[in-house]
Amino acid sequence: MKLAASEAFKKLKLKHYQQAKITTTKFYQTKPFFSMPEQIEKESGVLAPKRVNQVDLFKRYTYEVLPALEQSVELDLLDKVFQKVDPVVRESITQAYIRKQVEQLAQQPDPASIKDLDDNTKSNMPREKAKLFLKDWLDLNPIQIGKWIPLNYELFKKTFKFLSPGDFQKNLIELSKNFSLMMTDVGFKTIDYVDSSIRVPQIFQYKKLSKDNFHKEGFFIIMFNVLKGDFNDELRKHRNNELFQRVFATSVNFDALLTVILNHWELIQQLRTPDQRKEFFKSLVDQLLEKIDKQQANASMPELLFSTVKTLQFQDFTLDLTKYANNPLPVPKSLIENRFGEQYYGYSSNLLFYGDHGAGKSGVLMQAIIFAQQTGWIVAVVPSGYNWTSLKYEAKRHFKTGLYMQPKAAQEWLEQFKEANQEHLKTFQVDLSLYGKFNLSGVHDDDPDPCPNLYDERRGYHFKDFEKFTTQEERDFEEAQDQIMSARITLKIPKPQYLQEIIDYGISNAHYATNAVYEVMEQLYNTEKYKVLVAVDGINWFYRPSQIPSFRYESDKDLRGHVPPYHMSLPRLFMHFDGHKIKNGTKITASSIFKLFQHDFQPKHVLLPQKYGIKLNGAPLDMFRSFCEYGIQTGMWKCDEFSQNTLEQFWMETQGNYFETIKCMKVHWRDI
């Protein structure tokens, strides 16, 4: 038996070596693809070799040479290992090999009879439909990644009355006649991030919180969200301070300070009660006002802030910030591992998704928005930053503040917000201490001038020099409109009881719509009773010149006569990465480059640290299989079946890009 097995193995090995040698030799004897001019061919008498297409050459190499080489290498390695194993084990392996491999080899058909390699990879058995859908939204767990959450179209229309993020309505819903979301790995982590951003003040009274466990992931997140609200309460008292407006416009410095504080048990001991936290943050803000360099050109980076402030004193404890200048967000390591990896700080007040068009940025936003909406959150969504900076909506200028208002866009936003959150708005009581502080264009009474008369040293002019070129007729018109533009929504609704009253009035009166949007967002940012998610798709368009022309910006060579979004009421409200200002919730954003050719957007382009953004690169192969299966089962892709080899080829062609995949599905009717 041993002799027979050994001989069979040697014959099999020799056969594969010979087959690999013959296949490789034949391939390399093939002449490369090139052309010889006919005139030279005739005069020299030398015939040009047969032309071979490089693509065909690569296919032959892939299908013929590589498999043969792999088989010969594997058998060589197997032979070496085979000689080293124990004789008893060797005999057992030999017998198993004879029973299975030699018998299967004898049953293989003659290679000459195989005409189509692709047909040979297909199964003759009918393909069983994969189980794609979850029964319930709350079934979510890491094992379910790649599954689809079935939702109804009415929910989609309710949440996105006019427009949804990305191309969902145009592609997935209209093609498949179905509204479902595929749970991706990043989507699951984003939902976990959103769900963990709620405010639980009782954490500081928790008896199990101690010096040994305060730095653990769960405690860190809850304490961070509590301190976020207390720190903001103190900052709001300095709303008219231009320095603080600049330093804390985004959450970078804010998050860095809180993270460093939460790394010291001595400081956590001083934050046990609301009164202690109030006193602590008053001391913090006072010291910052005293030590921050008012002339600092770029005060939004924590490295510069920490090196400028250097130390902070809290009772008997001195906090040395210079130690954290190179690592301003020292979060627990487990947060980095369990969230988005090394590309993200681990935890902060904002999430920004960026990547190529069709990489899945808007899809992740949709997953987070629908999850929040279905689990009792209030969702405030800007589905397209591009629309607000384009010529889609008429804009008119508020003469006193200089901001451009888009009443129709504000009305649409209010209407969509109302449809998505009807259950909460009827019971959401207005905090009258916050109400009535905004004018018609959305400028708060305590805010600095939104359009200051800055001096451009490079070009030698002040921003408001344009007033020299206005005509007397224009000035008379502005004066006549002054009374109309000075009105506020408080004149019409002095003391609203519920938030829906403000929304309804803004929807029915375009003149007050922008004012209503600002009043609504002020209530949302400061509520503790309701959980709030703010989501903005296409936020990068707020950092580019709009398409709205105005002679007032002709002197700025970067604007070229177009209004910047920071001088437009609606973009100005949503453009900042200010999730730290939301008392009980968070903010997630995504870039959009569908109108920009070969544009590479990154967080640093908007002065945000690179680790505040998460880059998406399309679907991995496993999720790509699920996406293709969904396309077939819903009729979005007219394809009856596909083999593993051709599915991998399809993934390689599209690189897992959802937009490219759907584009292929629309015109790709072959059975693969």
Q: Which residues of 339-370 are buried (b: 16+ CB within 10 A; e: fewer)?
A: bbeeebbbbbbbbbbbbbbbbbbbbbbbbbbb
**Distances 367 to 80, 371, 539, 625 between C-alpha atoms, Å:** 52, 6, 18, 19
Task: Tell me the C-alpha distance between 429 and 438, whole Å.
Answer: 18
Read out DSSP for 298-355? Answer: TTT-HHHHHHHH-EEEETTEEEEGGGGSS-S----HHHHHHTTGGGS-S--SEEEEEE
CA-CA distances (angstroms) from residue 562 to 217, 407, 411, 549, 659?
A: 46, 19, 24, 4, 31
List the alpha helices (DSSP H) in 126-204: 153-159, 174-176, 185-195
* Residues 182, 147 contacting (CB under 8 angstroms): yes
Spatial distance between the Cα atoms of 401 and 551, rounded to a whole number of angstroms: 17
Q: How far is CA 145 from the centre of its chain?
A: 17
- If DSSP states are collapsed to H, E and C, what string results for 617-663? CCCCHHHHHHHHHHHHHCCCCCCCCCCHHHHHHHHHHHCCCHHHHHH
**CA distances (Å), origin 510, targets 132, 403, 412, 588:** 45, 16, 10, 28
What are the structure tokens assigned to 378, written together?
């209030």
Whether residue 298 contacts residue 304, with contact meaning beta carbons closer than 8 Å, is answered with yes
Sorted by sequence, the CB contacts under 8 Å of residue 528 that are 6+ apart come out as: 199, 229, 583, 584
- What are the Cα distances from residue 481, in Å, to 145, 301, 342, 474, 524? 57, 42, 54, 11, 31
Structure tokens at 635: 């009729």
Please give the pLDDT value at position 120.
36
pLDDT per position as a tens digit, 226-250: 899 999 999 999 888 888 888 888 8
181 forms bridges with which residues in the sheet? 149
Tokens of 259: 């993270």
- What length is written for the chain? 672
| Intervals of the chain under pLDDT 70 | 1-63, 88-89, 93-130, 135-140, 168-170, 293-300, 640-642, 668-672
Position of tokens 């030999």? 94
Tell me the β-bridge partners of 438.
444
The amino acid at residue 269 is: Q
Distance (Å, whole) CA 68 – CA 72: 6
Which of helix, strand or coil describes residue 462?
strand
pLDDT of residue 129: 56
DSSP 243: H
pLDDT (0 to 100) of residue 537:
94
- Rounded CA-CA distance 633/132 in Å is 9
